[in-house]
């Protein structure tokens, strides 16, 4: 995460920036998935920070506030915290303040949060948020509250309009719904990139030899998995991207009971049982189903691989088409 300072407390922020004389230009939120709406806000944070010669930063929370306040209502996270930080870094933010969300933080009134954190600790010059921003105890603060407090304490507030695609407001809820329903192509449109699972390679059941299509098995770190099924994917391994076909499911042909993520990588023949893996989901091909035995399964996997190659061939062709004016 070159260039991004990841700070875990306002004390760390002060140690990093307290003597610089620079003020913070911030957005505040959970930013799960860092979709196109989030990206629009953060691009403007960076632009404003450049204008003011300030610190382009973001405040986010760990864990998600609902995991503390209403665990039964907490949504599954689209990304890990590490993925979130990588996305912040890729956008060009200078600093990310990751506040531990606990009952004490939740008890702060909107004014206490603004004065104690934004003003006294971070010396904030500007805050940029979306229209639905809420903060403080019981989410009592909204954009009007923030604007009034900004006027009172000497920082500017800018409310950023949402991103709308095909009549749909881009939101983390929309991203989660698309992934959970297997609509990974829709999720990619909302995210501006494919949804991805990361984690360690684990040893599989050894059935690759049975069906003659070896796979790499992933222990996913994410809380949210795509709907059970077969997908056209890309797999990042040791710095190289491989086209791949991925099954998310229970292996019903072999009476499996544990949910697994296994990918067959094109142009790859190594046997691996450890290491890091990232699987990027582009298109859902079909539901997972039970076959009569290994022979029928083998034939279906061969068809899945052909369909995956066709998908990427079409995508590559579309990417090379000239733009007509």
Q: For residue 1, what pLDDT is reported? A: 60
Asked if 220 and 198 count as a contact pair (C-beta separation under 8 A), the reply is yes
Question: What is the CB neighbour count within 10 angstroms for residue 231?
Answer: 29
Look over the chain and give the mean of its residue pLDDT values, rounded to a whole number.
93
Task: Give the separation between CA 152 and CA 73, rounded to whole angstroms.
Answer: 35
Q: For the segment 5-43, what is each residue's pLDDT rounded down to a tens digit?
A: 999 999 999 999 999 999 999 999 999 999 999 999 999
My answer on whether omega of the bond before 63 falls inside 30° of 0, hence cis, is: yes
As a whole number of angstroms, the distance between CA 318 and CA 298 comes to 30
- Position 205 confidence tier, pLDDT thresholds 50, 70, 90: low
List the Cα angle 194/197/201 in 5-degree steps. Answer: 140
What pLDDT does residue 176 have?
98
Strands 55-62 and 24-28: parallel
Residues 6+ apart with CB under 8 A from 276: 198, 199, 200, 201, 237
Lowest mean pLDDT among 226-230, 249-253, 286-290, 314-318: 249-253
Q: How far apart are CA 284 and CA 226, in angstroms?
A: 9
Average pLDDT over residues 31-57: 98
Percent of the chain whose predicted confidence (pLDDT) is above 70: 94
Q: Is the peptide bond before 10 cis (omega within 30 degrees of 0)?
A: no
pLDDT at 239 (0 to 100): 94
Give the C-alpha separation, 12 to 227, whole Å. 40
Looking at the DSSP assignment, which residues form a beta bridge with residue 292? none
pLDDT of residue 2: 64
Nearest of 182, 181, 187, 184 to residue 168 by alpha carbon: 187
Q: Are 30 and 65 in contact (CB under 8 A)?
A: yes
Kindly report, residue by residue over 227-255, the tens digit of the pLDDT.
Answer: 999 999 999 999 999 999 999 998 755 45
Say how far apart CA 301 and CA 78 lie, in whole Å: 28
Rg (CA), the chain: 23
Q: pLDDT band for 208, please (50, 70, 90 cuts).
A: low
Instruction: Report if pTM > 0.85.
Output: yes
Classified as helix, coil or strand, 158 is: strand
Residue 211 has pLDDT above 60, yes or no: no
CA atoms within 13 A on the CB side of 83: 24
List, for residues 76-110, the tens digit of each pLDDT value.
999 999 999 999 999 999 999 999 999 999 999 99
Parallel, antiparallel, or unpaired: how do β-strands 195-202 and 276-286 relate?
antiparallel
């Amino acid at each position: 995460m070159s260039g991004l300072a990841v700070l875990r407390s306002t004390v760390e922020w002060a140690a990093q920036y307290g003597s610089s004389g620079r003020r913070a230009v911030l957005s505040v939120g959970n930013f799960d998935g860092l979709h196109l709406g989030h990206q629009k806000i953060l691009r403007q944070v960076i632009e404003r920070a450049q204008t003011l010669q300030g610190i382009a930063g973001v405040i986010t929370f760990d864990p998600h506030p609902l995991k503390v306040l209403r665990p039964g209502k907490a949504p599954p996270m689209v990304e890990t915290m590490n993925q979130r930080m990588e996305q912040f870094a890729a956008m060009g933010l200078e600093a990310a303040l990751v506040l531990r969300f606990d009952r004490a933080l939740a008890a702060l009134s909107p004014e206490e949060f603004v004065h104690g954190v934004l003003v006294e600790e971070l010396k904030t010059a500007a805050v940029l948020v979306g229209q639905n921003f809420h903060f403080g105890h019981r989410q009592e603060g909204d954009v009007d509250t923030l604007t009034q407090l900004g006027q009172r304490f000497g920082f500017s507030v800018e409310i950023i309009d949402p991103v709308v695609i095909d009549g749909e407001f881009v939101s983390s809820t929309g991203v989660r719904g698309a992934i959970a329903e297997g609509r990974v192509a829709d999720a990619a449109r909302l995210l501006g990139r494919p949804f991805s699972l990361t984690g360690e390679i684990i040893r599989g059941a050894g059935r690759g030899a049975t069906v003659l299509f070896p796979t790499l098995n992933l222990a996913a770190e994410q809380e949210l998995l795509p709907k059970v099924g077969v997908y056209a994917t890309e797999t990042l391994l040791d710095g190289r991207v491989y086209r791949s076909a991925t099954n998310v499911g229970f292996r019903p042909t072999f009476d499996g009971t544990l949910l697994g993520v296994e990918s067959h990588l094109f142009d790859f023949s190594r046997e691996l049982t450890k290491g890091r893996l990232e699987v990027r989901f582009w298109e859902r091909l079909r539901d997972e189903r039970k076959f009569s035995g290994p022979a029928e399964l083998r034939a279906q996997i061969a068809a899945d691989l052909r369909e995956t190659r066709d998908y990427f061939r079409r995508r590559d062709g579309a990417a090379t088409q000239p733009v007509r004016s």
